[in-house]
Structure 1
Amino acid sequence: MTDPHLRATISQKAALFEPEGDVLVLRTDDESWELPGGRIERGEVTEDALRREIREETGLDAEVGWPVYTAAWQNHDDDGRYSVVYRCHVESRVVTLSDEHVEAVWCSPGATEERLNEAQRIGVERAAEIDGR
């Protein structure tokens, strides 16, 4: 017997580093924190979709690097979720928030432990290790 396959919404997140090594976290109006990113639109190239989401949410033009972490889970409504965290870089710290978020904070990778869920924290940790931070 085989277990049923996970049917999941796919999203991409950016462990988005600025030149000094801080990473960007965003707060939603329900007081939760997350990395920039979102869903892929039909027909989009994955890296282009993430670059678009970063630009829409923050106003930043990012260099999208390699995926560093993936996670699959079911949320509290029993809906499947699958997320990929990419290592990304920007040259500017000037954020222009969209209406999806109410606050943006640049912080050290270690400081994200207090804000992000486990999958996103691990993604930041792995991205920071690759960068040697």
Structure 2
Amino acid sequence: MTEKPLRATVSLRGVLFAPSGDVLVVQRTTDEGWELPGGRLGAEEDATEGVQREIVEETGLAVDLGHPIHATAWRNDDDNGRFGVYYYGRVTERAVSLSHEHVEYEWLPPGRAEQRLSGPQGRAVNNAREVHEE
């Protein structure tokens, strides 16, 4: 048993593939870091509905959401607990309509997207790439 359980915010994100095979990454307004689209799960919200809601709010994209491809827990730079679940997704459109939470977006080949993102999100792209290539 773990002596000190992790208390964490739940974050749901999508690894979104365009028909070309590129992956969408978005740049945060707050610190200009790059991330996958998604966000926090609301109280009593279904996980898949929550991640679809967040993706639509942040990008305006309709997504064909698949199953989770990565889940992990960590502590961020401020020592706050995080638990992330990452879903595989496909979109047919590449026209993104960003919310106020992001200032920029890019469609990148999976390897470049993986390099642009933090450890947990980069691993999610790597896992999703394996699913996408099947």
TM-score (norm 2): 0.94
- Counterpart residue number, 1:112: 113
Q: Match of 1:55?
A: 56
Name the counterpart of 2:89: 88
Letter in 2 for 1:71: T
Whole-Å Cα distance in 1 between the matches of residues 2 and 80 of structure 2?
20
**Cα distance in structure 1, aligned partners of 2:22 and 2:130:** 13
Q: Distance in 2 between matches of 1:123 and 1:2?
A: 25
Q: Which residue of 2 aligns with 1:9?
A: 9
* Residue identity in the other structure for 1:16: L
The Cα of 1:77 is off from its aligned counterpart by 1.9
**Residue aligning to 1:77:** 78
8 Å contact kept, 1:32–1:115: no
Instruction: Check the 8 A contact 2:17/2:91 in 1, yes or no.
Output: yes
List runs of 5+ in structure 1 lacking aligned partners.
none
Aligned residues: 133
Partners of 1:22 and 1:108 within 8 A in 2 = yes
Query: Structure 2: which 5+ runs fail to align?
Result: none
1:35-83 deviation per Cα after TM superposition (whole angstroms, max 9, x unaligned): 0000111121111111100000000011111101111111122211000
Residues in 1 aligned to 2:77 and 2:59: alpha-carbon distance in whole angstroms: 28
The CA deviation at 1:2 is 4.5
Q: CA RMSD in A?
A: 1.3
Structure-2 residue corresponding to 1:44: 45
Mean Cα deviation higher: 109-118 or 5-14:
109-118
Runs of 4 or more consecutive aligned structure 1 residues displaced over 3 Å after TM superposition: none
**Which string of whole-angstrom CA distances, capped at 9 and with x for unpartnered residues, describes residues 6-26 of structure 1?**
000011110011111110000
Partner SS state of residue 102, structure 1: strand
Q: d(CA) in 2 for partners of 1:43 and 1:53?
A: 15
TM-score, structure 1 normalization: 0.95
CA distance in 2, matches of 1:45, 1:13: 14
Q: How far apart, CA to CA, are the structure 2 residues paired with 1:103 and 1:2? A: 40
Partner Cα distance (2:77, 2:24) in 1: 26
